[in-house]
Structure 1
Amino acid sequence: MQRKILIAFFIIMLLGILLSGFLNLTLIRTSYMDELESRLISNARLLERVVIDRGDSLTHEDLQTIAIEYGQRINLRITFIDYRGEVLADTLIDPDSVENHYDRPEITTAYEGEIGKAVRYSTTINEEMLYIALPVDFDTLELKVIRLAVNLQQIKEINQKLYNYIGVSILFGFFASLTLAYRYIRKIMEPIYEMTEVSKKIAEGDLRRRVDVSSDDEIGLLANNFNNMADRLKTMIDKLSDNNTKFKALLTSIINPIIAVDNMHHIILINPAAEKLFEVKAEDAMGKHIIEIIRNSTLEDRIKDIFENHQETQMEINIQDPEERILKIYTNLIKLENDPTRVIGIVTLLEDVTEMRKLEKMRSDFVANVSHELKTPLTSISGFVETLKSGTIEDEDTKMRFLDIIDIETERLTRLIDDILTLSEIENNSTKSIRSETYTTEAINEVTEIMRPIADGKKIDIITEVEGNLPIIYGNRDWFKQMLINLLDNAIKYTPQGGRVQINAYQKYNHVVIVVKDSGLGIPKNELPRLFERFYRVDKARSKKVIGTGLGLAIVKHIVLAFNGRIKVNSEVGKGTEFTIIIPTKIN
């Protein structure tokens, strides 16, 4: 700002000096020219008197003598011209060599009876001249005009001196005025500099800074108002900071995701829970359209309805990004405190009900499946019992066959109930089960020996490749053996006679890897994601051929999770299935 004021001051000062200088120069030049014209006219009239006094005896030679003599005395060029424009005598040149002057502007004016004046470049002597032409009436020599001319070189020299004086005045005035202006403006600007510096510190967060200016002028009043403003600003910011801290603490403590949008559907607030849910940072989400975060057209339509109808609502939506989820959404309008009729946005509270809905579906499916699985053997048992009670069956072999069927169905019910209880126990006690040491190699060998007779009955070879000193794992030993039994039992069931089942176990880094691979029927790729669900069967034809409760792999999955491990399955129809279990050897 100081530079701008100095530049403006310099321009004004320069314009003033230049304007006054050029006005003075013009005035001096005009005055000088007027005085010079008056002198030429006076001298022309004197020459007119001299010529008249000489009378009719005056010859051309006399005129030439007068022109030269008087021209040298008064330092002027004198020219006598007749009515035709012919030069009769001239101070500087021979009249015979001079061209006709009839068309000269000053001569033309003189012929009209007025004093002619002209400033022009003389082609005769190659100099700029001031001409005064005085009309006379001297019939003896046909003399009609006495013209006097003076060289303007002198006025050029005067103008040059004036230019020099003005230039020196401008330079001196510039430096003198600039020095004074700089000191004066700097003194004026010091409080402004201080206020600028203080305002910068306040903007950087130092709200304790104040301006120290003691003056009774407008600057002092401005400084006082600035300090008052800073005091009020500090009070308001402290209050806002306190409220903001409380708000952030509240917002962070809320476990449900919260997103607020303005009337343009741009995000103005997002809490940590929402950041985690949508895998986005607050600084990246702020200002973006909500659809860029929650990619769901239904939500967009509902937000439009809320703004148009000013109605608060709740709904459930399915989102696919960043992963498939079911969200329950509660929306509330954001209204101005001093104008409740004006809506400036919507705050949205989201509840992730994905697991809840999955559990509800699993519970519903489980009840339906259990009912179905229990109903089938119970119906069979009930039917055969009624038949036996009716006494219509007298053949003992038939009775025994019916009783065998009842016994088989009873065993099936027993296995089903045992599996349900086992699965329930694993689910409820996986986190608090006794984590004892399990010798991996020993447990695998024991299970292999238990299952070998069953495999031999189907002429299936069990091939084992187990490292001799596998590390100890920690968890329920019985569950670990149950997991292996279920996997081997499944492999044997779905492997045709003459096939083989292979068990590999080895250590990789800090994990024990167990692979159970069969050469059985295989599983279609589209069935693999649901393979570990309760009572899920790959297909009806496969289920009819194999007796089972449909809970074996569900039990395996939950046992693996109880050991903090993970399970993978690869399969190809007609070539067999491979289960891979990876269990950590360290206690987590």
Structure 2
Amino acid sequence: MTKFSSLVKVYYPLIFGLGLIVSILFFRSALKDEMINIKLTELDQQIFYIKDKMNKLVPSPISPDTNHPFIGQLSSEFINHLQILILKGKNNILYCGERLKEDHDNYRYRDCRQSLKDKDNYYDHEMRMARNSPSQTGFDIRYSNTLSGSPEKILLFSRHFNNHDYSIRIIVSFKEIQDTLDRIDRIVWIFAFVMISILVLVNNLLSNMIVKPLQGIIRFLKDYKEDRSLRLSYTSVEEVIHLQYFLNEMAKGVQKQMSELTQRKNQVETVIKNVSEGVILLDHKLKVLLYNNGLFSLLKIIPELYDYDLFGKYYYEIIRNNPLNNMIEQSVREQTRLSQNIHLSTLENQTLEVICIPLPHKSGLVVMINDITEQYKLVEIKKSFVENASHEFKTPISIIKGYLETILKTDDISVEDQKRFLEKVLRNADRLNNLIKDLITLNKLDDSRDYFRKEPVNVLDVIESCLDILSLKAETKNIQLVNAITEDSLELMGNQELLETIFFNLIDNAITYTDHEGEVIVAFKEDGDRFVFSVIDTGIGISGNYHQRIFERFYRVDEGRSRKSGGTGLGLSIVKHAVMFHDGEVYCEANPTGKGTLFKVALPFESDAEKALASMGSIDGETNS
């Protein structure tokens, strides 16, 4: 590929110079021919003049030995010619005059007849040329014997005039023509040199005016990828200025668009990197283009294995889950959006919602991964809750319906049987009522912030109130209730209704599942910034396999005994949610002293310093108001 600067600076001047040289050589050749023709025409006129003179002045043939006055006249009139030869027949020389140079500017003619007498063929060539010419005239050009072989003489020969066999040959020097040609050559070559020099200068100027700006544009386009702020400097050529202007405007537009795209890209990357869901963007080769940190935690990827950089890696190098990889391959192959729940065999039994979205024109794929383990569990819990609630409602309703139908359909039923049936109906109605109240309580606890408020509460008063209410139930089974708390007051920020629910359910369950003549103890200890309350019984106990599940809704370790006791299966679930409202913990353990169960409730409390700061804040609020 040829550069424009080379064309302008080298090739164009070279082509022009060669063309000019060829033209000059052609012109010189044509000029030389034209000057020879002019000289031959002049000689031909002179020969005609000689013929005419001879016809007028010499009525009779001239003898070779006669010195006719006409001969002397020829010597004086044609002294500028190198030689004039007049022949009669073939070898009879009538006249031969040859110019000799005497000094710098003077010439004389000498008689050359004697020197030509012994040469029989000195005019054979001209004779043949004249004989073959229609005008009986011929010419020849004689060249020098030097190495250059340049033209030296011009010969013109004419014969047959005035009915006498006369022949005239005139020889003139070629030097006059050569001198003229040399002068013209010098002028032409000087002109050619000047023209080529001007062309070179003009081309260099054009190169500086056009090529340099073009080179600047090329450098600008190369460097613009690295520095978007680059701009072109304007030159003096209008067309180039227009090009530079439009390129600058285009560069400004590209820079603005790139800035906007970069800003949007940064915004998208910021959003993607900070969402909890895992996001991974793959290119058309299914290599990673973009990802966020959520991907590591959701798919249990160890970032150290990849030097904390996943860019440029194939998806199957990172994702080691066959169902997920198969889903990606299917989405790419079918170019369809796919959504699927994938279960991971981990300790948490994770459930992931995976969405694969192919990009247009098969340019890549977006994979979004969301951890729906909690939602999945919630769905399962709700499903189980509906099933359990339906079962719990169905049993007492069936009992109530059965007894009422018996009373209605039996005419001779006794009053005692009616009373006994109605007592069972009332007991199951109470069971339904308790179930509905527990469900309402649980529903409130799900939105506890909207239904319950915290305030300073003395937990010791709450516990003593519960023990007092349940003392009668304990006495019927000869169970001893022991309050092992020695503090005078245990105050914390909480909701009194929910605290009563917590301790009432725990103490009530302890009494229910403790045999006659057992013992239920309520104890306390302070653990850092928490009050830890313990409810210990000597009852049947709970196997360690069930310590976590007993807080689930409607879960019972012993279905028969639980229903016989009149429980709804929601008590411990209510306890758990009420403790969570107080930002506390509740857990179940085996009684360390023997048989039975130990329930612990840990509730945070405010220190004296925190209470002082809180009171100061309330005082400042009142003052500002």
- After superposition, residues 466-545 of structure 1 pair within 5 angstroms as 466-469=485-488, 471-545=490-564
1:452 counterpart (450, 457, 471): 471
**Alignment pair present for 1:398 and 2:417:** yes
Q: State the SS of the aligned residue for 1:388.
A: helix
2:337 aligned residue:
312
1:372 aligned residue:
391
Q: Cα distance 1:375–1:313, how it changes in 2: closer, same or farther (>3 A)?
A: same
Question: Are the aligned partners of 1:470 and 1:512 in contact in 2 as well (CA < 8 Å)?
Answer: no
**Structure 1 unaligned residues grouped into runs of 5+:** 1-215, 335-340
Shift of residue 370 of structure 1?
1.8
Question: Are the aligned partners of 2:224 and 2:230 in contact in 1 as well (CA < 8 Å)?
Answer: no
Whole-Å separation in 2 of the counterparts to 1:525 and 1:287 = 50
Q: State the SS of the aligned residue for 1:496.
A: coil
Q: State the SS of the aligned residue for 1:564.
A: coil
Q: State the SS of the aligned residue for 2:588.
A: strand
CA offsets, 1:520-572, max 9 Å, x none?
A: 22223332332111111113344355321101001001100111111122238
**Alignment pair present for 1:326 and 2:326:** no
Q: State the SS of the aligned residue for 1:531.
A: helix
CA offsets, 1:430-479, max 9 Å, x none?
A: 45521111112222222222222222221222233224155422121011
2:278 aligned residue:
257
% of aligned pairs identical? Answer: 29
Question: Are the aligned partners of 1:258 and 1:348 in contact in 2 as well (CA < 8 Å)?
Answer: yes
Whole-Å separation in 1 of the counterparts to 2:595 and 2:520 = 12
CA offsets, 1:52-81, max 9 Å, x none?
A: xxxxxxxxxxxxxxxxxxxxxxxxxxxxxx
Q: Cα distance 1:294–1:568, how it changes in 2: closer, same or farther (>3 A)?
A: farther
Question: Are the aligned partners of 2:444 and 2:451 in contact in 1 as well (CA < 8 Å)?
Answer: no
**What amino acid is aligned across from residue 482 of structure 2 in structure 1?**
I
2:574 counterpart (555, 566, 569): 555
Q: Cα distance 1:231–1:413, how it changes in 2: closer, same or farther (>3 A)?
A: closer
Question: Are the aligned partners of 1:530 and 1:536 in contact in 2 as well (CA < 8 Å)?
Answer: yes
Question: Are the aligned partners of 1:470 and 1:507 in contact in 2 as well (CA < 8 Å)?
Answer: no
**Alignment pair present for 1:418 and 2:442:** no
Whole-Å separation in 1 of the counterparts to 2:340 and 2:230 = 43
Shift of residue 374 of structure 1?
1.5
- After superposition, residues 28-427 of structure 1 pair within 5 angstroms as 230-232=226-228, 238=259, 241-251=262-272, 256-262=277-283, 267-271=288-292, 273-274=294-295, 277=298, 283=308, 286=311, 296-321=321-346, 323-334=348-359, 343-427=362-446
TM-score by length of 1: 0.55
Whole-Å separation in 1 of the counterparts to 2:422 and 2:391 = 22
Whole-Å separation in 2 of the counterparts to 1:414 and 1:432 = 21
**Structure 2 unaligned residues grouped into runs of 5+:** 1-211, 232-256, 607-625
CA offsets, 1:147-166, max 9 Å, x none?
A: xxxxxxxxxxxxxxxxxxxx
**Which shifted more, 385-394 or 412-421?**
385-394
2:136 aligned residue:
none
Question: Are the aligned partners of 1:327 and 1:354 in contact in 2 as well (CA < 8 Å)?
Answer: yes
Q: Cα distance 1:468–1:370, how it changes in 2: closer, same or farther (>3 A)?
A: same
Shift of residue 272 of structure 1?
5.2
Q: Cα distance 1:444–1:315, how it changes in 2: closer, same or farther (>3 A)?
A: same
Whole-Å separation in 2 of the counterparts to 1:256 and 1:342 = 26
CA offsets, 1:481-519, max 9 Å, x none?
A: 111010111111112222222211122111111111222
Q: State the SS of the aligned residue for 2:516.
A: coil
Q: State the SS of the aligned residue for 1:466.
A: coil
**What amino acid is aligned across from residue 517 of structure 1 in structure 2?**
I
Q: State the SS of the aligned residue for 1:302.
A: helix
Whole-Å separation in 2 of the counterparts to 1:559 and 1:478 = 10
**What amino acid is aligned across from residue 350 of structure 1 in structure 2?**
I
**What amino acid is aligned across from residue 298 of structure 1 in structure 2?**
P
**What amino acid is aligned across from residue 602 of structure 2 in structure 1?**
I
Shift of residue 429 of structure 1?
2.7
Q: State the SS of the aligned residue for 1:414.
A: helix
- Larger C-alpha radius of gyration, 1 or 2? 2
Q: Cα distance 1:500–1:298, how it changes in 2: closer, same or farther (>3 A)?
A: same
2:605 counterpart (565, 585, 588): 585
**What amino acid is aligned across from residue 397 of structure 1 in structure 2?**
E
Question: Are the aligned partners of 1:560 and 1:567 in contact in 2 as well (CA < 8 Å)?
Answer: yes
Question: Are the aligned partners of 1:294 and 1:319 in contact in 2 as well (CA < 8 Å)?
Answer: no
Whole-Å separation in 1 of the counterparts to 2:499 and 2:336 = 56
**Which shifted more, 247-256 or 410-419?**
247-256
Q: State the SS of the aligned residue for 1:570.
A: strand
**What amino acid is aligned across from residue 338 of structure 2 in structure 1?**
T
Whole-Å separation in 2 of the counterparts to 1:431 and 1:276 = 34
Q: State the SS of the aligned residue for 2:554.
A: coil
Whole-Å separation in 2 of the counterparts to 1:321 and 1:370 = 31
Q: State the SS of the aligned residue for 1:534.
A: coil
